Structure 1
């Protein structure tokens, strides 16, 4: 019996190795030979290029690059050679000033928008950098709808059009309790973190329209509800919030990875399989991209290693936490440890970890790495015709944070002191 067990294990290992080799053999290797156009930043940079941390950035149709420096409360605009065009904004409460800037949306005509949670509004700036108008969130969208923690934005094909991913349910529950306490209203509209909506920013108030409702793992709703009384009691508040966060997601539960294409269609992955779904601007299905890479079943060993890793990461974060903050919530560390140890697992490890659209409609899809929790695996590139172009091996490059015209792409780089710089390069024709 023991001998048969070894034979079965060997046979299974041989089959898995053959399948893995076959999938890798179908990868058409790409090399990141992208010529550098310019770089800015670093220790010796001018004041405007002393970036505090990597932030959101985007190109306009002329190749100008816009960078949001949240800590400096400004947007920096560079021309195609990396020279400063202008800086926009400063810290303050007035029009054109920023309180809590959370993201940056750049349209192709050079108009750009900054969502500001402090103003509870989008600030829209014209091509000359002057403030054009505010677009406020409606009462139905709650005073917390601009919070950066729940925000994920992409520009639409028309100026003033934005695609947005909704907030996680757990944030909605917490904000639903805090809203009335702070004089706001509870939001009953909009999409959650598994949905996408189109925002129209042409008027005085944001108009939202759902466009995608992604697959969501069926689960029982938590029987407990967070109340103001819970928040008044540190122990109950800790248990309630940690419990909600633990119930909200499983280890390896598939995330929603998505991007908006130049024509307004959406590409997204919402399952553990290698399936990138395409929907038209009206939300109707228009296709699907697949590659021969299968999700890995979650074994007992993977479970143990994942929990150990999660606990180790948490302890590392705890070491950097202010002692006064810990003293205000002494039960929190143990509650989080218990939550990490008891959190459930999805039954397999998702393949897709990132989906991004290039300037001309290419799609870049990043797969998992060697370890189940490794998000930095190989990157597959599909042309605007949806044909497979090739694959960058793991570690060869990252997906560019910003794509521009004529193959321009922008990357953040950190030196040995973690000082950020921006490097702009140019892609070959097939990858644009």
Structure 2
């Protein structure tokens, strides 16, 4: 049941239409006492098909578990291995409405496609474009994909050069969206959209260091290659995007509250806005951002002797974008609406307020900060999936049902 709160909100939220919702639980699977099939090793990707079946990717177990709308085990697909239908390092899961699904594998640099009954269909080799972030095309056996930043491919490019191979260049970068036809003979990313990127005033790119095979066996060297680069500014706007049920691309690429709706051909058909201005960057926020980034990098270098001094200095000297991007997360609902999360108390706070837009692109209302998070997956008939963990970090997937007004 959706409840409209009649009391006047605090002045800071006067422009919001506050929402609260009772999301009834449909079922849960997982936890310490769960059957073997629901002993999930972590919180992996989840997605629904058009029948309300929930697909769960368990990366450590190298399999996809399918749960029917009553919460019963339907089937498990996959295992560790190098053969058809087997995975080495499954990374992403996409599910189409007819029940077909695909899994990307980082180590095999491939995407495997499966029939609705779980039978292996085909495999496509991605090459060095395995870092793509993918979404299913709701109208075809195809994917929409966002590219990766150039720094993310430095190690693989260096390895290619060491082996005498021509480094493969992504056809789209981290501000580009393309389409991949999975029925084609070859894996090809067709660029569709290049979003705006905040201009940078940077020094020219340094020539890459020549690496030897011994360098790839040196943990400290590899950590520096993967995790030591410091580029861009703190709080630079990032590309946030998703695909609506009719195939429209919804995306935000600036600090403003503006969600562009674009047809696959690149035509902007609408822009969703709210009269909310981006916040500035205070001295306290600058200090907190630097401290947080140093802590994050230290955890990445803990196996190779700690954070190098030059990396720490580059973080401390890193510049700041002047304002905070308002749209922190953007997710499309099954019916074609949008849930949009704004910043919480700090930009990295994941508990910020969530605005809901309906399929007709109208503003419905806002869930207050700290009351709810965006679901991991939206499904038919208002089904949504969340992950929960207990005090021992044992995961449970929880399926709930949304009221009609916020689907």
Q: TM-score, normalised by structure 1?
A: 0.86
Q: Distance in 1 between matches of 2:73 and 2:265?
A: 39
- Cα distance in 1 for partners of 2:25, 2:397 equals 11
Which residue is 1:209 aligned to? 190
* 2:223–2:304 Cα contact (<8 Å) kept: no
**Equivalent residue, structure 1, for 2:233:** 250
CA distance in 2, matches of 1:418, 1:390: 33
Q: Report what 1:83 is aligned to.
A: 72
Q: Which residue of 2 aligns with 1:426?
A: 401
Q: How much does 1:380 deviate? A: 0.2
Find the partner of 1:152 among 129, 133, 138: 133
The 2-side partners of 1:49 and 1:345 are apart by 44
Match of 2:317 in 1: 342
- What corresponds to 2:247 in structure 1? 264
TM-score, length basis structure 2: 0.91
1:63 aligns with: 52
* Contact 1:408-1:425 within 8 A present in 2 as well: yes
Deviations 1:151-178 (A, max 9, x none): 3111112332111110111023333222
1:225 aligns with 2:207: yes
Deviation per residue, 1:350-376 (Å, 9 max, x gap): 111000000000100000012243232
Counterparts of 2:273 and 2:224, CA distance in 1 = 42
* 1:185 counterpart (150, 163, 166): 166
CA contact (8 A) 1:32 1:397 kept: no
Give the number of the structure whose alpha-carbon radius of gyration is greater. 1
Cα 1:156–1:221 shift into 2, 3 Å: farther
Give the helix-richer structure, 1 or 2. Answer: 1
Q: 2:286 maps to which residue? A: 303
Which residue in 2 is equivalent to 1:398?
373
**Whole-Å separation in 2 of the counterparts to 1:414 and 1:371:** 24
Is contact 2:155-2:225 (8 Å) kept? no
Do the aligned residues in 1 keep the contact of 2:30 with 2:397 (CA within 8 Å)? yes
Aligned with residue 168 of structure 1, among 129, 143, 149: 149
Distance (whole Å) between structure 2 residues aligned to residue 213 and residue 288 of structure 1: 16
- Unpaired stretches in structure 2, ≥5 consecutive residues: 1-8
Question: Matched residues in 2 for 1:284 and 1:40: separation?
Answer: 42
Aligned pairs, number: 395
Quote how far apart the aligned CAs of 1:60 are: 0.5
* Partner Cα separation in structure 2 for residue 77 and residue 70 of structure 1: 14
Q: Which runs of 5+ in 1 are unaligned?
A: 1-19, 138-142
Does the residue aligned with 1:264 lie in a helix, a strand or coil?
Answer: coil
Indicate the SS of the match to 1:375.
coil
